[in-house]
Amino acid sequence: MSVISEVKQRIDLVEFVSQYVTLQKTGRNFKGLCPFHSEKTPSFFVFPEQQTWHCFGACGTGGDVFSFLMRKENVDFSQALHILAERAGVALSSPERVVGNEDREKDELFQINELAAEYYHHLLLNALEGEEARNYLTRREVARETVEEFRLGFSPDAREGLKKYLRDKGYEAKDLVKAGLAVERKDGSIGDRFFNRLMFPICGARGKVTGFGARALGNALPKYINSPYTAVFDKSSNLYGIDRAISAIREKNSVVIVEGYMDALLLHQHGWKNVVAAMGTSLTEKQVAIIKKLTKHVFLALDADVAGEEAVLRGMEVISRSGDRKMVPIPVSSGLVKCESVLDAEIRVVALPQGKDPDEVIREGPRLWQNLVEQALPLLDFAIDTVLSKLDIGKAADKSWAIQKLLPLLQEVKDPLRRAQYVQKLAKRLKVSEAILLSYIKKSETVRGKRKDDEAMGQQFSHHLASSAIEEYCLALLFQYPELRQLSQDLAPEYFQHIENRELFVQWQRFPDISRLESQLDDSLSEHLYYLLHRSFPPPICQSNKERQIVLRDCILRLQEGLFRVLEREGVRSGQQLQEIFIQRARGIMK
């Protein structure tokens, strides 16, 4: 591997850019105000899967971590390489790594993180300004014992509190920056990275504090932020609570993976000690490596919004290796099954009640949580039940839809006996012969082989643009069914909060003919348009114009409601005025 490739692999672009830009997660990606030109509406996007960035506004520029640093700091490539190599811990002058120096640096970072954890924890328990954080934990029913066990903390609104505390302990400001606990401001001064947030120390398997998660207590965005990449912290390599869960995972020979810090805390508090949290990220190869050493029985506890068709077939990601050993995202329709193969384990899905997270369920009743875990379905069974529950299998079109959605999962089952069992089960549920299903699989695998190279080249396009699912659904309906155009009169560009969707809508208003529209777009938007034009819909929508109208009206209402919430949050108008506007528009649409 070249030095340049190693540097890029070690530095997470999202965390690096976050030092300069306040990023907000949107779908799979992140957005913020462009640091290279003045703007009020975010048009700057970072794509974690490709480790690239792009401005869809006035700049129209993009690139990787090198190009970002070169443009932001006005340095040439050689200077950028030296800066990033030092940050990533990659030696340039000598092929031999100075292991002793690296170990000393890591030990110092562990010591700084430990002192920071003590500082934050003390403030949460004792400081007057920590009352809001304590009240929040009380509302969430987090016990004092849990707060102490996990050493939760509070970072005050004073922007240099930790800096002063650690300075008294003999550490310089640059040490805090290296540990990810401080940031350098535009004026050259250095201040605390975290302020007015509930702090979650993140520990490695051996109990050393590697970094922090932080939840905003006010209206600051993003709600959750983490320490940036350092010599001892890589979010993709950590599982929150792993230090507290290792013994229980081995004892029970199973692990429950939840999404958030609070989910893990409350479940531990109620006796579920074999629980860890992926901290809102997709399950990664490094996290899989940790799990693989401990157990082969994995339970994924997804909230109700995630544990639907979109989550099973699109939403989650599992990381697997490609030939050059880069981290490559794989959609869940095949990725989680690949993960099963990597783990040599069975993954089960804990489906939660609509609108509830694990911490809400366990607070409502430990027995309810116990039942949900006991009733967890194997991944493929869960996927089959989820897809078929939404269709009328008495209709040929619905059967075809189900096969189209479930084939990728069956293809990833390499064990012939398991595959035969699931083919038999699906054939029985769909009331078709096994021979028909097998013929579909064989044909699909042939086509899949031919497309493999194209997919590898095109991964960066199809889903890399940050998009709202509702916005995408709305545009796909309009683009694929021209007869719905009249209903678009109730839409306005500002309803689309994601720049690529808004731009497509504006261009479509000017050029309703799709072929004409395509000729007006740049490559990035053309790829997004292609995805929307080929987005599939359930048979009821395909077969009924009335059904399409109902769904589109619902999309428009939800987009308007989304804008209403954004404007209200930003204080553009009073809540009452906005509510009246929204109700008037809703009545107009529903007529």
Average pLDDT over every residue of 420-429: 89
Exposed/middle/buried for residue 170 (C-beta within 10 Å: 0-12, 13-18, 19+): exposed
Task: Give the C-alpha separation, 17 to 13, whole Å.
Answer: 6
Exposed/middle/buried for residue 142 (C-beta within 10 Å: 0-12, 13-18, 19+): buried
Cβ 390 vs Cβ 532: under 8 Å: no
Q: How confident is the model at residue 575 (pLDDT cuts 50, 70, 90)?
A: very low
- What is residue 188's predicted lDDT score, i.e. its pLDDT? 84
What DSSP state is assigned to residue 196?
Answer: S
Q: Enter the tokens of residue 552.
A: 């589109």
Residue type, 402: A
- What is residue 2's predicted lDDT score, i.e. its pLDDT? 55
CATH of 242-384, one of 3.40.980.10, 1.20.970.10, 3.40.50.620, 3.40.1360.10: 3.40.1360.10
Task: Give the C-alpha separation, 429 to 561, whole Å.
Answer: 39
Please determine whether the domains at 99-232 and 242-384 fall in the same fold group of CATH.
no
Cβ 357 vs Cβ 263: under 8 Å: yes
Residue type, 123: L
pLDDT (tens digit per residue) in 468-495: 678 888 999 999 999 999 888 888 887 8
pLDDT (tens digit per residue) in 348-369: 889 888 778 899 999 999 999 9
Q: How confident is the model at residue 453 (pLDDT cuts 50, 70, 90)?
A: very low
Residue type, 141: E
- What is residue 125's predicted lDDT score, i.e. its pLDDT? 96
Average pLDDT over every residue of 430-443: 83
- What is residue 461's predicted lDDT score, i.e. its pLDDT? 30
Cβ 317 vs Cβ 270: under 8 Å: no
- What is residue 244's predicted lDDT score, i.e. its pLDDT? 94
Most confident of 116-130, 417-431, 512-526: 116-130
Task: Give the C-alpha separation, 72 to 54, whole Å.
Answer: 14
pLDDT (tens digit per residue) in 531-569: 788 777 888 788 888 889 988 988 888 888 777 765 554
Taking Cα atoms as reference points, which of 490, 483, 471 lies closest to residue 553?
Answer: 490
Q: How confident is the model at residue 573 (pLDDT cuts 50, 70, 90)?
A: very low
Q: How confident is the model at residue 101 (pLDDT cuts 50, 70, 90)?
A: low
Q: Give the least confident one: 290-294, 377-381, 543-547, 582-586.
A: 582-586
CB-CB neighbours of 524 under 10 Å? 19
Q: Give the least confident one: 97-111, 310-324, 566-580.
A: 310-324
Taking Cα atoms as reference points, which of 322, 239, 221, 250 lies closest to residue 282?
Answer: 239
379-388 vs 332-343: helix crossing angle, rounded to 10: 160
Exposed/middle/buried for residue 144 (C-beta within 10 Å: 0-12, 13-18, 19+): exposed
CB-CB neighbours of 284 under 10 Å? 22
Taking Cα atoms as reference points, which of 221, 55, 215, 260 lies closest to residue 566?
Answer: 221
SS3 content of the chain, % helix, strand, coil (to 5): 55, 15, 30
Task: Give the C-alpha separation, 452 to 206, whole Å.
Answer: 41
Q: Residues 433, 438, 443, 448: is their CA dihedral positive or negative?
A: positive
pLDDT at 450 over 80: no
Most confident of 30-34, 212-216, 294-298, 530-534: 212-216
- What is residue 102's predicted lDDT score, i.e. its pLDDT? 58
Cβ 63 vs Cβ 47: under 8 Å: no
CA 339 to chain CA mean position, Å: 17
From residue 316, alpha-carbon distances to 27, 332, 405, 428, 470 in Å are 11, 5, 15, 28, 17
CB-CB neighbours of 583 under 10 Å? 11
Task: Give the C-alpha separation, 319 to 458, whole Å.
Answer: 17
Task: Give the C-alpha separation, 39 to 380, whole Å.
Answer: 46
Q: Enter the tokens of residue 119.
A: 């500082």
Average pLDDT over every residue of 219-234: 86
pLDDT (tens digit per residue) in 231-250: 899 887 889 999 999 999 99
pLDDT (tens digit per residue) in 112-146: 999 999 999 999 999 999 999 999 999 999 999 99
Beta bridge partners of 297: 346
Whole-prediction pTM value? 0.57
Q: Residues 469, 470, 472, 477: is their CA dihedral positive or negative?
A: positive
* Angle ∠(280,283,286) on CA atoms, nearest 5: 120
CATH of 99-232, one of 3.90.980.10, 3.30.365.10, 3.80.10.10, 3.40.50.300: 3.90.980.10
Q: What CATH code is assigned to 3-88? A: 3.90.580.10
The rounded mean pLDDT for the chain is 79
- What is residue 581's predicted lDDT score, i.e. its pLDDT? 52
Starting at the edge strand that comes first in sequence, how are the strands of the sheet with 44-47 ordered?
24-26, 29-32, 44-47, 52-55, 62-63
More confident residue, 534 or 445: 534
Starting at the edge strand that comes first in sequence, how are the strands of the sheet with 209-216 ordered?
153-155, 197-203, 209-216, 224-226
Q: How confident is the model at residue 20 (pLDDT cuts 50, 70, 90)?
A: confident
Domain range annotation of the chain: 3-88, 99-232, 242-384, 391-459, 469-590
More confident residue, 44 or 56: 44
